[in-house]
Structure formats: C-alpha cells, structure tokens
Amino acid sequence: MKWKKQLAGMKAYQPGKSIDDVKKMYGLSSITKLASNENPLGTSPKVPQFIEDHGINFARYPDGYSGALRKDLAEHLQVSEKQLLFGNGSDEIILIISRALLQPGVNTVMATPTFPQYRHNAQIEGAEVREVELIDGHHDLEGMLKQIDEQTSVVWLCSPNNPTGNLIQQAKLDEFISSVSPEVLIVLDEAYFEYVTDTEYRNAIDYLQTYKNVVVLRTFSKAYGLAAFRVGYAIGNEELIANLDPLREPFNNTSLSQGAASAALSDQAFIEQCRAENKQGINLFESFCLKHNLFIYPSQGNFVLINIKTDSDKVFEELMKKGFIVRSGNALGVPGFIRITVGSIDQNTELIEKLEKILIELGVIHE
C-alpha cells in the first residue's frame, strides 16, 4: 500500500508499565506511580460532585463547541470566547497545529530534550525537524533563532520545559518572540502553568495582543487533575484560532469531560493548594540533592529531574521493586537522570528514603 514514506519505522507511544503489571511482577500490594506528572492530590472535590449531580444523556452528541466550558474559561482567562480552541488533551492541539502547518518541504524548530509529541507529529507530516540542544536545561533561544529560515513554519517552546522543569526567562522570551518573523507560528506550551511560583513569570496571554503568530497551550491534565478526561486548549488571537478550528474533530471533547473541566476550573482554591504543596515537595527533593551533592534542575513544574550519576534504568528498576514507578532518563533523552513526579508529602518522603538507600547500595552516595 502507499503509506507515507515518513511513517517507515515509526513506533506507537510506549506507555509506562501499569500499576497492575508492576504489582504482579514484584508481588507488591501497593504501588505509587510518580511517572506521568499527574496530580498526586487528584482533582477538586467539585468534580466528583458534578458527576454525581449531573446525568449525561448518553445518546446525544456532546456540544461540539464546548459552549459552557468555553464561557467559563474565557471569563477565567480574560480572553474572548473566540480566542479558545479545545482539544482532546493538548496532545490533540499539537496534532492540529502540525496538520495545519507542517508538510514536506518545511521545517520546524524545537529544543531537545523536550516534550516528544512535537517531533512525533512533525515526522508524521513529513516536515524537517530541527532540534536545538538545551543549555543547562534551558532553551537555547539564540541557537533556535539561528535555525529559523524561510522554510520554517512552526517553532515549539515548552515552559516550564518537560523533562527539565526550567522556565524560559521572561526577558529572553520577550526578545525571542520579537525577533521571530511574523510568518512563523510560535507555540508556547505551558502545560505546567498552574504550578509556576517564579514571581518574574508574566502571563503569556499578554503576548497575544501584540503578536498574532503566538499560540499558548494549556491543559486540564496536570494541576487540574483531569488527565483521564482529555481536555487541553489553545489560546491565540481570533483569526489564528479560526484557521485552526476546521482541523478539529467535530465532537472532540465528551459531555462529561467538558462539565468536569468547568467544575475543576471553578475551584481555584484547590489549585493554589496544589501549587503550594508541590513547591514544598520540590524543596524536599532539592534538600535531598544538596545533602548528597546530586545535581537537580530548578523545576517550576510538578516534576524533578535528578542526576543519579549511575545507570538510569538500574535506579528505575530498583525503585520499582520498592513500589515506586518513576521515569528513567534513558526514555527521555537524558541518560544518567531520573524524572520524578512530585507526589504528596508522604509519597515524596517515602520515595526519598528508598532512593537514598538504593544510591548508597550502588555506591553513588554515602551515608
């Protein structure tokens, strides 16, 4: 058959081991999964309340415009309703942008390592992928600027960056955005926006007034604790959003997920609590690393990337035997590191105890 050439050798997304798999493999009764940056505190109690209170008519299609959620979110963000595009997770927004702007003959610029879906979708569309190495965990914006030419159609920025957690510095971002041609779309993926505590951080939505080629991505999957519901969104100027909208599937967010997202959005006190508890967790990981002279990136997300100075897969496996699932740096393009989602206070404390033991046994650190 006449497959697209670029699909040759492409692999499907490899989900991590499931909690049930690991339980069986190691005969464990409880497992803590700190691998996918999900919210350890779950979601706002308003979400289960909403689900209990509101019957959904299963036979009817959902509102394809996500009208009620759109109204709530526009009000919350102080943008117009037409500035929003909803996706089945922001993963789908990445797909929509790629489908709209990438094709053979054009190129797309991104950092490495960063969120792998930018590259994956660009490959499917047959665009040339130009990856620019991070410098100390930071986007090399000057290096990225140099990679942009007449054939560049999309630049991807991820802030805080997954997997390093670094925030792009505000002044550098200002300069970068003003230097890029208005014919190039700049995607600013802020999946961890709600966790940011850096006071210098300005709302990226402010860029949209001045720059018609900027689009901001956010999601209900991380701080809002709704990863299972698949609701992400783009914020851009109205014309840009109108151009992307025809690529969206007509009913890409279910009735239940739209309602759940609205309910979660209405509880900002919960988000504040998550942000504060997450910050405490990061502090805990930082003191552990300081104590043992291990390098940890300064994270503004809900995960930390730690240099464990030995084989990542080994530490990953040893932690799994002790009931904790994290991500091995080998799978993320950062060998020698592990990425840990910040858990609840108890989960963090317990994981650090286990990690300390493992690293002592491996001779990486000393008591």
Ligand X SMILES: *Cc1c(COP(=O)(O)O)cnc(C)c1O
221 contacts ligand X (rule: CB under 6 A): yes
Residue type, 349: T
219 contacts ligand X (rule: CB under 6 A): yes
Total residues at interface with ligand X (CB under 6 A): 13
Q: What's the closest the beta carbon of residue 13 comes to ligand X, in angstroms?
A: 11
Which span sits near ligand X by CB under 6 A: 5-13, 41-49, 84-92, 129-137?
84-92
H helix and E strand count, the chain: 13, 12
Packing angle between helix 345-361 and helix 312-321, nearest 10 degrees?
120
- Considering only 39, 43, 152, 162, the residue that binds ligand X (CB under 6 A) is 162
Which span sits near ligand X by CB under 6 A: 14-22, 72-80, 86-94, 197-205?
86-94
343 contacts ligand X (rule: CB under 6 A): no
Asked if residue 130 lies in contact with residue 138, where contact means CB atoms within 8 angstroms, the answer is no
Q: How many CB atoms lie within 10 A of CB 287?
A: 12
- Based on CB atoms, which residue is closest to ligand X, 158 or 359? 158
153 contacts ligand X (rule: CB under 6 A): no
- Based on CB atoms, which residue is closest to ligand X, 232 or 281? 232
What residues from 165 to 194 belong to the interface with ligand X (CB under 6 A)?
189, 191
Q: What's the closest the beta carbon of residue 347 comes to ligand X, in angstroms?
A: 19
227 contacts ligand X (rule: CB under 6 A): yes
Q: Which residues contact 137 (CB under 8 A, 6 or more apart)?
A: 161, 164, 165, 166, 297, 298, 305
- Based on CB atoms, which residue is closest to ligand X, 37 or 43? 37
232 contacts ligand X (rule: CB under 6 A): yes
Q: What's the closest the beta carbon of residue 23 comes to ligand X, in angstroms?
A: 25
SS (H, E, C) 225-265: CCHHHCEEEEECCHHHHHHHHHHCCCCCCCHHHHHHHHHHH
Asked if residue 338 lies in contact with residue 329, where contact means CB atoms within 8 angstroms, the answer is yes
What residues from 345 to 364 belong to the interface with ligand X (CB under 6 A)?
none
Looking only at the bridges linking them, the beta strands covering 32-33 and 324-325 are parallel
Q: What's the closest the beta carbon of residue 90 comes to ligand X, in angstroms?
A: 4
**Residue 361, CA distances (Å) to 259, 290, 295, 305, 356 in order:** 49, 19, 19, 21, 9
**CB-based contacts of 76-80 (< 8 A; 24+ apart in sequence):** 76/265, 77/205, 77/235, 78/205, 79/205, 79/208, 79/235, 80/238
Asked if residue 235 lies in contact with residue 83, where contact means CB atoms within 8 angstroms, the answer is yes
300 contacts ligand X (rule: CB under 6 A): no
- Considering only 91, 125, 194, 277, the residue that binds ligand X (CB under 6 A) is 91
Which span sits near ligand X by CB under 6 A: 85-93, 130-138, 239-247, 357-365?
85-93
38 contacts ligand X (rule: CB under 6 A): no
Using CB under 6 A, list all residues that contact ligand X: 37, 89-91, 115, 158, 162, 189, 191, 219, 221, 227, 232
